[in-house]
């Protein structure tokens, strides 16, 4: 039986493991409760740049040595930056866990931030930004977040802009690091063929130099959902359209209810939107719903990709499905959504990498691992009445967010869409190009 064990070191660093005895490998990593949202106004993109620079050389290893040492034993190492978290992780065979711990500790405590490496990596990120700008389904989501949280760090693209990325110095990166990468905000997690006490000793030894207190007060401005619209007409084969509403934070009572509602509306081939919009009417080739939760806010969205000529019919059908969800939901739909979420949860636990990430997120959000039984209990309390009430409040009591890119000549004005949702016309903030 798998067992989660947790130890808080005297330094304040939290170490968590889950032993999976049937495996020969271990997925391990360091998760930091800090992401792009923790940047100041002048630091747009620095969290992501730091993640890149961590692999570009330390006091003990060159960038090539970091890559070669982990790959010489058949392992892999990577990192990721999100809005509220950053993670550095590795996957190795069980005999090579000490090496992986050493490398992760090295890049997080001894990175050199060499000026020449920094110059090169800035240009790598510029290419990454350019590739994202050339990908319409990336652009539409970036514009969506920027519009939902106008002029706020929570809505800014994680990559930054060419100007901001090129402006950063090694000292600025070190300042962001010293302000955010402290033991009270960091979690070292391992899942797989790992022995807890041995892993704790390795972590305690190698991560002992991490600072306990930040060099300056960490930044986190309260999020304020604004809504509005962003349209960008481009000569493309199809239109990408996102319609969103203010959602729920992780700790909100209706967070899990929102997850169920998103699944019912657009969580799979049996969902309402897929069946009505794609299968029955053939109005798009892709349609789904999602709910993003953050620490103090959330956003509920619906995405569709279609030919521009289908937009006049598509948007009213989507709005009609939203209205129907506020009036009637079947018990069978709730049971199917619960079953899908349960299956995703359990299937994810068969992967040590997915399991380590899941435990880390729970530690950052709730301060403890959440047993499966508790998660399912939270889902079991969701009723038809709660779902229809939530749908009514989500879709008809908040200002919507519209983001669209492509051939948009036939996309209805925002005022018309808002009128169909609320019964009254309005002109929200707009950005067009």
Beta strand segments in 63-185, E? 76-81, 86-93
Among candidate residues 39, 51, 69, 229, the one labeled active-site is 51
Number of Cβ within 10 Å of residue 273's Cβ equals 24
Closest Cα partner for 384 from 326, 327, 329, 323? 329
CB 311 within 8 A of CB 240: no
Residue 412 phi, psi dihedral angles, 5° rounding: -60, 150
- Rounded-to-integer distance, Cα 267 and Cα 64, Å: 42
Q: What letter does residue 279 receive in the DSSP assignment?
A: I
Which residues does 21 contact at the CB level (< 8 Å), separation at least 6? 193
- Rounded-to-integer distance, Cα 320 and Cα 351, Å: 39
By DSSP bridging, strand 401-406 and strand 228-233 are parallel
Structure-token pair, residue 401: 């967010």
Structure-token pair, residue 114: 């060499």
Three-state DSSP state, 261: helix
- Rounded-to-integer distance, Cα 335 and Cα 193, Å: 35
Q: Is 246 a residue of the active site? A: no
Three-state DSSP state, 52: helix
Long-range contacts of 305-309 (CB under 8 A, 24+ apart): 305/137, 305/238, 305/239, 305/240, 305/241, 306/238, 306/239, 306/241, 307/237, 307/238, 307/239, 307/407, 308/238, 308/239, 308/406, 308/407, 308/408, 308/409, 308/410, 308/411, 309/410
Q: Which residues are catalytic?
A: 51
């Amino acid at each position: 039986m798998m067992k989660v064990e947790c130890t808080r070191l005297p330094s304040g660093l939290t170490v968590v493991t889950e032993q999976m005895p049937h495996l020969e490998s271990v997925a391990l990593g360091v998760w930091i409760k800090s992401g792009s949202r923790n940047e100041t106004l002048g630091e747009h993109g620095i969290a992501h740049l730091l993640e890149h620079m961590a692999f570009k050389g330390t006091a003990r290893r060159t960038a090539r040595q970091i890559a070669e040492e982990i790959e010489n034993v058949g392992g892999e190492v990577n990192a990721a930056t999100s809005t509220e978290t950053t993670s550095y992780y590795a996957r190795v065979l069980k005999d090579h866990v000490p090496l992986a711990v050493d490398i992760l500790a090295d890049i997080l405590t001894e990175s050199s931030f060499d000026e020449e490496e920094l110059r090169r990596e800035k240009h790598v990120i510029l290419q990454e930004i350019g590739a994202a700008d050339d990908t319409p389904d990336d652009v539409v989501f970036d514009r969506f977040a920027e519009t939902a949280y106008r002029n706020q760090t929570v809505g800014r693209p994680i990559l930054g802009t060419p100007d901001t990325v090129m402006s950063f110095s090694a000292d600025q990166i070190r300042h962001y690091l010293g302000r955010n990468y402290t033991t009270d905000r960091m979690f070292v997690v391992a899942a797989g063929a790992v022995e807890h006490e041995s892993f704790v000793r390795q972590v305690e030894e190698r991560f002992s130099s991490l600072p306990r207190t930040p060099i300056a007060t960490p930044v986190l401005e309260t999020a304020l959902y604004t809504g509005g619209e962003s349209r960008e007409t481009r000569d493309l084969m199809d239109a990408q359209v996102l319609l969103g509403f203010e959602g729920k934070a992780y700790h909100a009572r209706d967070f899990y209810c929102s997850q169920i509602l998103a699944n019912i509306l657009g969580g799979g081939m049996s969902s309402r939107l897929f069946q009505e919009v794609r299968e029955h009417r053939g109005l798009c080739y892709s349609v789904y719903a999602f709910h993003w939760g953050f620490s103090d806010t959330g956003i509920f969205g619906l995405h569709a990709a279609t030919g521009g000529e289908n937009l006049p019919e598509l948007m009213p059908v989507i709005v009609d499905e939203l209205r129907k969800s506020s009036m009637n939901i079947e018990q069978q739909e709730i049971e199917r959504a619960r079953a899908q979420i349960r299956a995703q949860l359990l299937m994810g636990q068969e992967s040590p990498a997915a399991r380590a990430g899941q435990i880390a997120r729970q530690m950052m959000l709730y301060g403890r691992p959440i047993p499966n039984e508790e998660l399912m209990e939270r889902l079991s309390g969701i009723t038809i009445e709660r779902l229809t009430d939530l749908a009514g409040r989500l879709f008809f009591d908040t200002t919507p967010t519209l983001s669209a890119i492509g051939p948009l000549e036939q996309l209805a004005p925002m005022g018309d869409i808002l009128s169909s949702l609320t019964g009254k016309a309005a002109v929200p903030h707009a950005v067009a190009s």
